Structure 1
Amino acid sequence: MTRTPSLGSRWLAPLLGIALLGGPAAIVAGQDGPTASPSAFPPGALPPGLTPELIAKLASGPTPGNAPRPDDFPPLDKVTEGYEKVVSMLDGKPSFYTIWVRKRDGQMLAELPREYARQKHYIALTVASGERFAGLQQGDMYVYWKPYDKRLALIEPNVEVRSTGDNESKASVQRLFTDRVLLDIPILTIVPQGGPVIDLDELLVGQAAKFFPGVRISNPRLASIKTAKAFDQNVELAFEAPMEDGQLQTLHYSFSLIPENTGYRPREADERVGFFTTAYSDLGKFADGESRVRFVNRWHLEKADPSLKVSPPKQPIVFYIEHTTPIRYRRWVREGLLYWNKAFENVGISNAVEVYYQDAASGAHMEKDPEDVRYNFIRWLNNDVGTAIGPSRVNPMTGQILDADIILTDGWIRAFWKDFHQDLPKIALEGFSPEAMAWLDANPKWDPRIRMAPPSERDYLIAQRSIRGPQSLGGHPAGLVDPVLMGDNEFDGLVGRLSQVNGLCLAASGKSRDVAALRLHLAATADDDEDEGDEGEDKDGEEPKDEEDPKELLDGIPEEFIGPLLADLVAHEVGHTLGLRHNFKASSVYALKEINSNGLKGETPFTGSVMDYNPVNINMETGEVQGDYTMIDIGPYDMWAIEYGYTFDDKGLEKILDRVSEPELAYGTDEDTGGPDPLARRYDFSKDPLDYARNQMRLARYHRERILDKFVKDGDSWAKAREGYEMTLGFQVSALNMMAGWVGGAFVNRDKKGDPGDRDPIEVVPTGQQRDALAFLIENSFQDDAFGLTPELLRRMTVDKWLDGDGFRRAVNDEPTWPIHDRIIGIQSSSLTMLMNPTTLRRVYDNEFRIPADQDALTLPELLEAVGSAIWTELEDPGEGPFTDRKPMISSLRRNLQREHLERLIDLTLPTDSSSAAQKPIANLAMMQLRELKAKCDEALGGKEDEVDAYSRAHLLDACQLIERALDAQVIYNTNDLVPAPSGRMVIFGEQAPAPSR
């Protein structure tokens, strides 16, 4: 006999939607279900329309949405006929989703959890096979399911805007900032006392593009099930299907439950320490700065025994090294992971990070799938691309890191040389601001990407720019961020994502340059080492190694080089998975002489953090010994950042942050690299990068002298000479770019008012350092001997011709004869761009105002005069004649440079759409310098034409004429039309003058 609960019971009233107003209320069964009525009814009697069955149904819990009833559908056994239930747990307990599969035709069904309508689910997405970066996390979704009659909608809650204020603000935010429906799918049936059943292959294959933007499955009927595993907190599902191009790809989906009330407490982010953040707007707060809430992304680490000062973790962070990782490298991967344990021990957790090898031979941990959200993997891809990335997935409500995978590829280890066309323009543009990039976008002849391109491609590249039009931020990576897909550029993943992604981390790209440089260095110094070994002592004063104890080689590189490089790279990516962002100011801790000393070597990391892009350290006469080639541990900044993010003492955070002004804790990240701080740069090195830049130039000269004798061995192609020389150009351009940032620079500190040290947030770079940097650029890019070219070297700098693979472009585009003038002017024009772009000139101009008038400062006139005088020295001191066409007064390289400089000055005089207040004084100074150059050119030619060779005479005559045309341009009033002619020369016209042809 069914017992009818008393309608006066307070536990039943809320379920029935009854307002208890001092007594029972009548319920009337209407078209939309039972409704409350204020009329009373006798105690113990059922209201009209309210049956015991209905009461039992209502008592079982609230019905979410417009949920249908089980009897509206066919029975479960009918729907699952021919399917096999997936059982993955040994104890046989129910899984998160109940999964049925029919493998013969790739069909899959799923029953959602009974409490699905009250849960938030997490979907982690991975392309598991069939592309070059298979295994890289593709994205994630924080979602819930909601029934609409006989369909289920997958909905993404709005977590970007919230309210923790009063009830009115919460109601308003909920009404204005609604959730988003991603897709919907039919309900096949409903399991009694269970959840709805859906067609999973229709969802995950038929609607794959809604999970993986850009994925287009050509024929869903050819999809097959690759993975179907069901566990208590997650299910792992994967389908292989042909894409539009026919390529088979495996799409992996991890569905997991986002648990609530785990004890995790979010930690507020602070801009003085570099963490990825989970952020939202809280419109229930009104105090200044409170409405934007930011939490650091971190793992939920707890002490197993809170009473201990140092305790093992309750749940460690466990990484598995995938079995595809070459055995010869596994110990170095493990070492890089374990570097971080010392930082966690500092906050009271021992062995916070654990590492295990997955091994195919022994079967160890082979049952674990890297795509399974329960496991964190180091994955190794043999794709011949130099990439590494350390993304993590986080709870978008709290910032708790849930899952992390690190991707390493083998391409950087294979690096023997770096492509001139692809690499040098990137190096030359390193650190350019969005403002400068926008200028280059509108002025392509200033752009290193155009000037360093082969002549056969330049017109095409310029035409492509004209077709696409202006780019956001001039094409700066920050303006190209895709908030959904990751891996486009270094900024991608830092903006607009719920989860933490560090974007295309370029650390591995830098390591590939390091490996190429090491190979060049080892090849060139091998004979030197043998000669020094014969003398009984090596150059560092150490005893030579026994000839019977040769260095262990890993893929052609001594393990003592490549092993620590790999450990350093892994430690960098692990740092990302722990929540840390890049720190590009960390390399400024020690001077180069300290780094290459017995005091630091093998004992102390030579920079503040592994989160910087630290270049390989090759000592060329700067220090008593060859110091460590790379980082040998995490640095002091890394220890400090982990202490802030993971300490258990919430009240001690301010004490931790009080250390912000300590030099070894300097911090600057991705968005700082385009700013004025010259220390916030990728690939720079040491406390005084000028020392490192000079070291790089010594390294370039050293190898240029040895390319023919040492680097190219008997039996090698002479194309290797060309590759070796272009690598030395990489050293040179990197050094030039590094020092350009010091001109007009200002150090930026993230200190807050009251922080110890009382540092100003902006400190102009000392004038002496700016002048030294300017002199370095002039000496190493404007002088002919800066490039170390000789006829002997040039006669051997050929190129191999192969029409297959990556060699096709070089075979078609690169002539066997190295294009001397195009290559050198490409670098020189890039140096001019670094110094004379409007952003650098504006910074110099603004800094004049920041420095008190009674103190020395680098001024705009001084900068422009220094550049101009260095480029046109032949006008003041032509040297000793007689000059002939074979021994001209002005060399061919210098003539190209002078013409380039002249056109840059004219460009600076042209009217622009720039709103910068510095534009007019820049234009005036450029015009003044043009007048002075005209006078000097006239003087150099006056009465001496017979003494000047034909090349130099023609060059100077053309320069005079070009300046005259620029100076003679007339301003016609009553018009606003100011048009630069196609040649770049200024043409200003009005009603009285016809407009030139565009």
Structure 2
Amino acid sequence: MKRWMLVLLVAVLVLPVSQEALASSRKKKKATVEKKETAPAQTEYDKLLKKPGKVTATSNFITLHKLNGKLYFEIPLKYLGREMLLASTLTETSSDLIGGTVGYKQQNPLHVRFVMGDSCLYLKKITTSATVDPGNEALQNAVDRSFSDAIVGKYKIETYNNDRTAVVIDITSLFTTDVKDFSFLPNMGMLTVKGDFRSDASGLDEIKSFDDNLVVKSYMSYRVSVGFWIITLLSDVPVTGKVTRSLVLLPEDKMRPRISDSRVGIFNTTKQHVSTREDGIQVYSLAHRWRLEPKDMAAYQRGELVEPVKPIVWYVDDAFPAEWKSPVKKAILRWNKAFEAIGFKNVMQVRDFPKDDPEFDPDNIKYTCIRYLPSTTENAMGPSWIDPTTGEIVNATVLIYNDVIKLLNNWRFVQTAQIDPKVRTKKLPQDVMEEAMIYVVAHEIGHTLGFMHNMAASASYPVDSLRSASFTQKYGTTPCIMDYARFNYVAQPGDKGVKLTPPDLGVYDYFLVKWNYQPIPQAKDIWEEQATLESWVDEKAGDPRFRYGRQQILSRYDPSAIEEDLGDDPIKASTYGIKNLKYILPNLEQWIEDDADYSHRADLYKSIANQYFRYITNVSYNVGGIYLTEIKEGTPGERYVAVPKDVQKASLAWLLNEYRNADWLSKSPLLKKFPMGVDMTTVLRIRLAGNLTKLKDNVVLSAYIASNPYTVKEFLNDLYNGAFESAIKGKKLTDGDKLLQSTLVDLVIAPLADKKESGGLFGLNSAYAPSLDEILAYDLDPSGLVGRFEDQLRAIEQEHGAGFIASQLRLDEFGAPGYGFLQKVDTKAIDNSTVYLIDLAFKAQKLVNSKLATSTGEDRLHYQALAAKINKTLKNNK
């Protein structure tokens, strides 16, 4: 075979294989190229979030990403525009005094929504203060323009997620900077708390996200200062708080609101209604209430007991002392009796803190909890938070401070030891402690159901009925446990079978539940429902058990609507109470054992003295007092009525008699075993003398509105005759006489003295404003800070006058007119007391100068000092 033929043959044989191999090789290369071409490029979303160290909390709501100290929200587009509540709860604090209260939301939750902007998301605070008639599009557009949402945050859109159904924003600043709407530093009423935020000691902590809510925890640090007016009380104290911010999605299907009635004590939110049906914008308010709807409306309307669609579930803190858990749970469930009366069953439900539920967080706004706080504060609180659109309560918290048990021990002893041997111990027996604890917790639970204090309730019961076994066993001490009607201090040692505690629930508590929660399905809208609700209140008008008396903080006009009182006659009730204190005090040493250093007995003695001061002050409110009642046209009652003249005169005479005979308080031999100090009789007389002279301003207004007035002239003459009784009758003066005479002289020469007038805020006089002693005795500043800084505040009050401390109180107003705390009335335009004071100054001058010639020793020195003061003042004003 030719060589060239051989080469050709080999080529022919090899070529198919080579071409096939070549083709295969090309395919592989093509495949490789194609594979490289189809691999997705890394997206902006991946570049931003797919990094080492990232922590993600995934949910169907908002997914959270925490990375390198930053927090990202991945918000589905479908949730833009949806209403949410953003709340901040204090989880831990380095100072329970000025660092806030664990478990408490110091600020109201923000009602917000995220809205798409130009390359950003706006966080807007929703404005819900104005409403219009449904269907009035023109008015709605006008309201929308004048009441638009406020922007509280702007966040750049960092990227979309990979399927472009959600946007990602860097929202770190909302949780790691000093946002005032989230501050956990307490509002201490009259005390100013300022926090200097420390960003270098603050930062993110845990994140969680669930189907309708999320949780972000942060550490926030401050240097805190506390002041009053222009005085600094604490300076530059380091405080760190761990806070839990929770964002919860609100339902689109809103609860039907319920319009408030100022004659019923329900917390409420004020609204303005713009309508062509009325001239002028109308102010109304919505009641705060849980959304309770029957699962089976047909069965409910047939009168069957029906469970609600959504019960009120309470989670009980696992930190409670074991012996407290049972009364706490019983107190919550006690309210089911009132709900059963309106057709609901199992409304109030109780669960322990879950041990194995990863979603549960007691500081998440989604969960309603009752918390235990290891604090020396002798108090408890029951706040709640709402959807501002409707007034629907979406979250509540009850806070029980450890030392409330100490308060209960003291209350129970000083108010009932005369009749109940079981409380004559250092520590309350378990059954008595449980009974008292149930009352305290049930009262706070009532607040979380929307119920305000009703301080007029206990005044509806005749005093002597409180000594009746049959009456008290049926009704307790008050028709409403939302009053501060503690234990039965009226009951005397010989009274048998008398109930010593408030009722489980009073008749007014049942009425509150009915008014706030009974469905009215036949009403087509809230305005038609309002007519039915008003008719329920109209039916009760004139019955004192259903009268609502607002708590009086800034001004205390009404002696029938105050804290810590019982019965319809302050003189009679206080007389019984003082008689009991005089029985208890001599037995204090033998009743209390296991008290080697006498510290517990000393504490009880102080409680006896404070109780005595309250009994005296209860009566003092009669002098110049004005009964206040919310009324409606066509129903019984008057809006304001002066306390009758004879009651005022009798009250002043009673007060002067107690002033003279208060020495029993300091005659106990037990006092020598207590730490050294000024005896309580002297302290009490100083307080009472100041309060007696302050009543002049109250009498001015009371006389002005009365048909048969107890005039300022009569009051001042009665006070003068009482103060100078011993001098007029030629008797030897007691230390009490000297103190009261000196105080009265200061009062009568005040119009002529070269002094700048002191008193309340903006130059208003101090009429009806509580003194510092009243603020403390009646717990008008529950923060406890006033008690801590009592000495400093007392010095300020002495300089600026009684009522000045109260004038600085900063308190929330609850809703529309008729609900807010009572303000002071400026009586300067009707105050003609100066002429009578000057007349008494000359009268006192004549009396005192006459005594200089006949008195001797200490009495002469006293009269000499008074004469010098009066003569100098009158001489300088000739």
SS in structure 2 of the partner of residue 75 of structure 1: helix
For residues 265 and 687 of structure 1, do their structure 2 counterparts lie closer, same or farther at Cα, with a shift above 3 Å needed? Answer: same
Q: 716, 723, 729: which is aligned to 1:877?
A: 729
Q: How far apart in 2 are the matches of 1:302 and 1:368? A: 25
The aligned amino acid for 1:876 is: I
Question: CA 1:844–1:746 in 2, change beyond 3 Å: closer, same or farther?
Answer: closer
User: How many Å separate the matches in 2 of 1:210 and 1:189?
Assistant: 28
1:338 correspondence with 2:330 = no
Q: Is the 8 A contact 1:697 1:732 kept in 2?
A: yes
Offset, 1:206: 3.8
CA drift at 1:351: 1.8
Q: Does 1:747 align with 2:658?
A: no
Aligned-pair distance for 1:798?
3.9
State how 1:884-963 maps to structure 2 within 5 Å: 889-908=732-751, 916=827, 921-942=832-853, 944=854, 948-963=855-870
Residue 792 of structure 2 is matched in structure 1 by none
Mark the CA change 1:337 to 1:307 in structure 2 (over 3 Å): closer, same or farther.
same
Q: Describe the superposition over 1:229-271 as per-residue Cα deviations: whole angstroms up to 9, x where unpaired.
A: 2211111221235544665421101111122224x21111111
Aligned to 1:731: 611
> Which stretch of structure 1 is more off in the superposition, 387-396 or 192-201?
192-201
Q: Which residue of 456, 469, 475 maps to 1:598?
A: 469
1:669-818 alignment, distance < 5 Å: 669-671=550-552, 674-707=555-588, 709-710=589-590, 716-717=596-597, 722-755=602-635, 758-781=636-659, 783-790=660-667, 792=669, 796=672, 798-799=674-675, 816-818=676-678
TM-score, length of structure 1 as denominator length? 0.68
In structure 2, C-alpha distance between the alignment counterparts of 1:78 and 1:114, rounded to whole Å: 19
Aligned to 2:44: 74
Post-superposition Cα deviations, 1:133-175, rounded to whole Å, max 9, x if no partner, equal 1111223101122344333332212222444484444333333
Write out per-residue CA displacement over residues 641-684 of structure 1, whole angstroms, 9 at most, x where no aligned residue: 22111121236323311212212111111248824321111111
| 1:890–1:554 Cα change, 3 Å | closer
The SS at the match of 1:282 is strand
Tell me which amino acid in the other structure corresponds to 1:938: N
1:391 is aligned, of 373, 378, 383, to: 383
> In the aligned structure 1, how far is the partner of 2:396 from the partner of 2:599?
43
- The match for 1:138 among 99, 106, 110 is 106
Q: Which shifted more, 710-719 or 824-833?
A: 710-719
- Scaled by the length of structure 2, the TM-score of the pair is 0.76
CA contact 2:426–2:594 (8 Å) conserved in 1: no
2:77 paired residue number: 114
Please tell me whether residue 159 in structure 1 is matched to residue 128 in structure 2. yes
Aligned equivalents of 2:378, 2:501: Cα separation in 1: 18
> 1:769 & 1:407 partners in 2: Cα distance?
41
Residue 509 of structure 1: aligned partner: none
Deviation at 1:936, TM superposition (A): 2.3
Structure 1 gap segments, 5+ residues each: 1-70, 89-93, 416-511, 530-550, 800-815, 852-856, 880-888, 972-998
Deviation at 1:869, TM superposition (A): 1.2
- Are 2:264 and 1:273 aligned? yes
Contact 2:381–2:399 (8 Å) recurs in 1 = yes
Judging changes above 3 Å, is the alpha-carbon distance between structure 1 residues 289 and 875 closer, same or farther for their aligned structure 2 residues? farther
**Quick one: which of 295, 312, 332 aligns to 1:304?**
295
Q: Matched residue of 2:76: which SS?
A: coil
Question: What is residue 710 of structure 2 aligned with on the other side?
Answer: 858
The reply to whether residue 125 of structure 1 matches residue 93 of structure 2 is no
Residue 690 of structure 2 is matched in structure 1 by: 830
The reply on whether 1:257 has 2:249 as its aligned counterpart is: yes
Distance 1:386 1:956, change over 3 A: same
Structure 1 pair 824/229, CA: closer, same or farther in 2 (3 Å)? closer
> How is 1:186-205 mapped onto 2 (pairs within 5 angstroms)?
186-191=156-161, 192-205=163-176
CA deviation vs aligned residue, 1:176-220 (integer Å, no higher than 9, x gap):
333322122332211233221123444312455553275665345
* Count of residue pairs brought into register by the alignment: 726
Task: Please say if residues 109 and 200 of structure 1, whose CA atoms lie closer than 8 Å, have aligned partners that are also in contact.
Answer: yes
Q: SS state of the match for residue 138, structure 1? A: coil
- Equivalent residue for 2:60? 95
CA RMSD of aligned residues (A): 3.2
Describe the SS at the equivalent of 1:932.
helix
Shift in CA distance, 830/393, structure 1 to aligned 2, threshold 3 Å: same
Show the counterpart of 2:700.
842
From 352, 374, 380, the counterpart of 2:347: 352
C-alpha change, 1:675 and 1:897, in structure 2 (3 Å) is closer
Shift of residue 323, structure 1, vs aligned partner? 0.8
Q: What SS does the aligned partner of 2:245 have?
A: strand
Following the alignment from structure 1 to structure 2, what is the Cα–Cα distance between the partners of residues 711 and 827?
Answer: 30
1:620 positional shift: 5.0
| Structure with higher RCO (Cα < 8 A, 6+ apart) | 2
Equivalent pairs: percent with the same residue?
A: 21
> How far apart are 1:733 and its partner, in Å?
1.1
Q: CA 1:767 to 1:236, structure 2 compared with 1: closer, same or farther past 3 Å?
A: same
Match of 2:198 in 1: 218
SS where residue 599 of structure 1 aligns? helix
Kept in 1, the 8 Å contact 2:380–2:398? The answer is: yes
Q: How does 1:434-473 map to 2 (within 5 A)?
A: none
Output the CA distance in 2 between the equivalents of 1:625 and 1:731.
24
Cα distance in 2 for residues equivalent to 1:387 and 1:970: 52
Answer yes or no: is the 8 Å Cα contact 2:260–2:287 preserved in 1: yes
Q: Distance in 2 between matches of 1:554 and 1:958?
A: 49
Q: Residues 74, 564 of structure 1: CA spacing in aligned structure 2 closer, same or farther, 3 A cutoff?
A: same
- For the structure 1 residues 561 and 81, does the alpha-carbon distance in structure 2 shift closer, same or farther, using more than 3 Å as the test? same
- Provide the rounded CA distance (Å) in 2 between the counterparts of 1:864 and 1:754: 39
Contact 1:79–1:189 under 8 Å retained in 2: no
AA aligned to 1:74 is: E
Instruction: Give the Cα–Cα distance (whole angstroms) in 1 for the partners of residues 481 and 291 of structure 2.
Output: 23
The separation in 1 between residues aligned to 2:319 and 2:662, in whole angstroms, is 48
Question: In the alignment, what sits opposite 2:20?
Answer: none
Q: What's the CA shift for 1:867?
A: 1.5
Maintained 8 Å contact 2:609/2:680: no
Q: Which residue of 1 aligns with 2:395?
A: 403
Q: Separation in 1 of the partners of 2:679 and 2:473?
A: 44
Q: C-alpha offsets along residues 854-898 of structure 1, whole Å, 9 cap, x if unaligned?
A: xxx43323221221111111222224xxxxxxxxx2123321221
Using a 3 Å threshold, how does the CA distance of structure 1 residues 519 and 606 change in structure 2: closer, same or farther?
closer
Contact 2:66–2:72 (Cα < 8 Å) also in 1: yes
* Paired residue secondary structure (1:788): helix
2:202–2:218 Cα contact (<8 Å) kept: no
- Per-residue deviation, residues 832-871 of structure 1 (Å, max 9, x unmatched): 24533x2x121342144x33xxxxx433232212211111
Shift in alpha-carbon separation, 1:713–1:157, aligned structure 2, 3 A: closer
Q: 1:671 to 1:364 in 2, by over 3 A?
A: farther
Structure 2: distance between partners of 1:704 and 1:832: 26
Q: 1:307 to 1:553 in 2, by over 3 A?
A: farther
Contact kept in structure 2, 1:584 and 1:681, CA below 8 Å = yes
- Give 1:865's aligned amino acid: N
Q: 1:681 to 1:967 in 2, by over 3 A?
A: same
* Change in CA separation of 1:622 and 1:905 when aligned onto 2, cut-off 3 Å: farther
